[in-house]
Chains A and B, each alone.
Chain A
Amino acid sequence: MVGESLFDFKGSPKSIEALSEVVREASTIYYGGFVSREYRRPSRIRQYAELDQKLLLLDDLEWLAPPKRREEARKSVERKIDDLRTALGDTSDWGNVKPLRLRHSLRQILSYQPEDQVITVGSRISIQDLQKALAEHGQCLPFAEAGFYSRISSLWTVEESLAMNLPHNLEAQCGNWRDWVLGMKVILPDGTVVTCGSRAVKNVAGYDLQKLIIGSRQTLGIIAEVTLRTLPVAARPSPNVQEFPENRKEKWPRAEPLWIQRTLRTDFPEAIKAAEGKLLEVDPASCTLWARVDANNDLPRFADDWVLRTKCGERNVQFTNPTYLEFMKRIKQVFDPTNKLNPGEFGF
């Protein structure tokens, strides 16, 4: 039974140990307001309730919002839970289903050595707060300042941003989370806390498991602490992003059904042409485009390209290489043999 003293309906686990206990006790965890497809579906929640499964719904939307929008986001989370309550009846009928607004206290700067350009933070720190702390020492994470869609994840917490590892418009010049993260502490679905990587700026000791977790959409483990290498602000280049505000339909980037595509340099002009009228942003340096394309439509595909979508359900991520999918399943089986974390996120 999940310990009520650790958190309540509106509370939060207060430490890695408390969070790991919550995780260990749960049967299924839908984690992250943006990434999960299923957890807002009352019918699925009811199934869990009927089976008396220990389901956790961890939502952190409140803490993903910029500070000025947090109150609004908090209300939005409560509305979502109210919706569930309406759909499912009073919480007493929910069995072991536990909606939990996650704001675990792991959002501090745990250590920072500006002289070594290395910082360790609790994973729930917002990137804005992190950037502010780094800026005091003339350092940064090299996300771009410009670009509405390509910097979506720079508005989130460190945890969700690296769990999604979306492309951004300084990626060609400065890399992405897979280049910035040196190590992390991760809570596995059985509650075990493991260390991946290290705090050294260069390290090849063992398998690079932290790189597997980056971009894994919280399907392998819950990230508790992250060690990052930082960049001098002076070394951060300006992005060469082209925006198309006339094609925007929604106020918030998350509300758009996005089509994010990266192609070979030689195919990029044609890809841009094909997305005409739907383009939201283009980053020529990494040959990445962001377009507004809903689930019922597609844009042309090109050799070796890849596509990432939002608001398209099962079509958000599709793997064309069956071996790749098979290998991903093997890894999922190692980390999460009972398929507890964000089941279905990658189609398994």
Chain B
Amino acid sequence: MVQELHDLLGADSVLSGVAIERVYDCDAYTVDRSKPACVVLPSTTEDVAKVVKWCNQNDVPFTARGAGTGLSGGSMPAMGGVVIATKRMTEILEIDVENRCLLAQSGAVNARLSDSVKQYGLHFAPDPSSQSVSTLGGNIAENAGGPHTLKYGVTVQHILGLTLVAPDGEIVKLGGRVAGGPGYDLLALFVGSEGTLGLVTEAWIKLTPLPTVIRTILISFPTVRAATQTVADIIATGTIPAALEMMDKGILNALSAAFGLTYPEGTEALLLIECDGDDATTVDEEIETVRKICESNGSSSIATAATDAERAKLWKARKSGVGAMGRLAPSVVTHDGVIPRSKLPEMLDHVYAVAAKHQIGVANLFHAGDGNLHPCFYFDDRDPKQVESVVAAGEAIIRRCVDLGGSVTGEHGIGIEKSDLIGLMFDEPSLDLQRRVRDAFNSKALCNPCKILPSQKGCTEHKRRWRGTAW
């Protein structure tokens, strides 16, 4: 296999060996792992098409991978085979300032896209917390969100056109630089399909004007319930902040340990709230409304950013949260579930109760404005019992999300992690329709196999092998 791929792409574009297997056997979801046979590093769409055609000719599974920051095992090579990594596909190919769009290869890093057009007063709005490393292709595959999606929407709303290599190796272009259009919304089908309908190699993305007025406040609460009630109250008033993020004591402890950040005594939860726009009066009114709601719920201190530097400082807590948790345990699993926002107070109570029952540590930092929870369990993945507890606790939380009218995933995707849980949301006829849509484009099931849908042929047996094999 390796020699044939060498012949296709050149020797320096194919990686294999024990170290490679170890590096590429999972993404940021580390509970399940599976080794690739080899990893290829294409530079162009044509390179990707060559590899995919070769895989088809030889019945070898293939899985795309960006930066490996995915949190549901989406880029884990479940059936082995070839990992197609986009690390060399990082070019920004065209910036069209007048039409507010940009063409980039799928391996381009999210933050770089915004950095490249900041001088024109524009940005790429989706901002997953991994944005300093995660790639455009990964964001598209998972339909990534981020703190500011509350106001600006998720990735699908910012993708205008795609070049992709279909599962049979054909190069396909969909959409262009103009949004919308008649016919079935194929872009929306491919965005968020977790790399199971093809490999995105290039994309035209929409650029959004940067707001000229931004107000950011960090608010401390004496109880978690006061903070969650504040979120529910803000949403109920009809105010739509640009971001409405929550962090609990667990995260604050990790941040203190990692970065020496300090918080007022008695703080059990923080809310980071940002309002933006182009009219200072309107934005100020919004932030004032928010401030009053916080005070009515007993907020104990408020920090306001007066400059960009101060704003960056307030965001540091939020953006560094998961990284800081590395101080608490060898492994972290960041869960992802969605509930109606009015149910946040009771849901958080449930999260703490579940963690206590399973005797594992939990910290919460999440997109409260969307009702998008991220309970982070920290544990030692060398202990099979702890791994089992984490999986069981995650399932208990996700089940409650669905019971409350929410979703099993808001932005991380189903991947491997939740392929057994998607059935909580969809009955068999609905899943069967999804299966048939997948098969219409990925009939040989070679393209990122075993993802999204439950009980796939040949995947169950492998699944037993994946789980709990860490190190």
Please give the residue numbers on chain A whose beta carbons come within 8 Å of chain B beta carbons, in ascending order.
Answer: 113-118, 138-139, 167, 171, 175-176, 178-179, 188, 192-196, 198-209, 211-212, 214-216, 220, 232-235, 262-266, 286-287, 303-306, 308, 317, 319, 321, 323-324, 327-328, 330-331, 333-335, 346
Contacts and interface: CB of A to CB of B under 8 A. Distances in A.
B189 A194 contact: no
A220 B98 CA distance: 37
B215 to A, nearest CB: 16
Interface residues of B, number: 72
Nearest to A137: B238
A200 B407 contact: yes
Contact of A215 (B173, B183, B339): B183
B274 interface: no
B318 interface: no
What are the 4 tightest A-B residue pairs by CB atom distance, in nearest-first order?
A232-B238, A211-B188, A304-B176, A200-B407
Contacts of B147: none
Interface stretch (B2-10, B249-257, B421-429): B421-429
A306 B180 contact: yes
Contacts of A207: 189, 192-193, 434, 437-438, 452
Contacts, number: 203
B406 interface: yes
B371 A202 contact: yes
A296 B373 CA distance: 55
A192 B426 CA distance: 13
Given A209-B433, A265-B99, A198 B438 contact: no
Residue of B338, B413, B441 most packed against chain A (CB within 10 A) = B338
A206 B192 CA distance: 8
A334 B184 contact: no
Nearest to B452: A206
Interface stretch (B25-33, B119-127, B152-160, B351-359): B152-160
Nearest to A227: B405
Residue of B185, B193, B411 most packed against chain A (CB within 10 A) = B185
B185 A331 contact: no
B382 interface: no
Contact of A201 (B172, B236, B338, B436): B338
A54 B89 CA distance: 54
Contact of A306 (B98, B178, B239, B405): B178
A212 B189 contact: yes
B430 A196 contact: yes
Interface string B47-75: 00000000000000000000000000000
B181 interface: yes
B282 to A, nearest CB: 10
27 contacts: A116-B341, A117-B235, A175-B157, A192-B433, A194-B427, A195-B427, A200-B340, A200-B405, A200-B406, A202-B149, A202-B154, A203-B338, A203-B407, A205-B418, A206-B434, A209-B437, A235-B240, A264-B99, A287-B178, A303-B176, A306-B178, A306-B182, A319-B183, A321-B174, A323-B174, A334-B436, A334-B440
A206 B422 CA distance: 8
A194 B433 contact: yes
A152 B414 CA distance: 38
Nearest to B412: A204
Nearest to B441: A330
B434 A209 contact: yes
A202 B341 contact: no
B100 to A, nearest CB: 7
Residue of A206, A235, A262, A333 most packed against chain B (CB within 10 A) = A206
A234 B238 CA distance: 8
Given A117-B235, A118-B340, A204-B409, A215 B154 contact: no
B210 interface: no
A332 to B, nearest CB: 8
Given A204-B413, A206-B434, A264 B186 contact: no
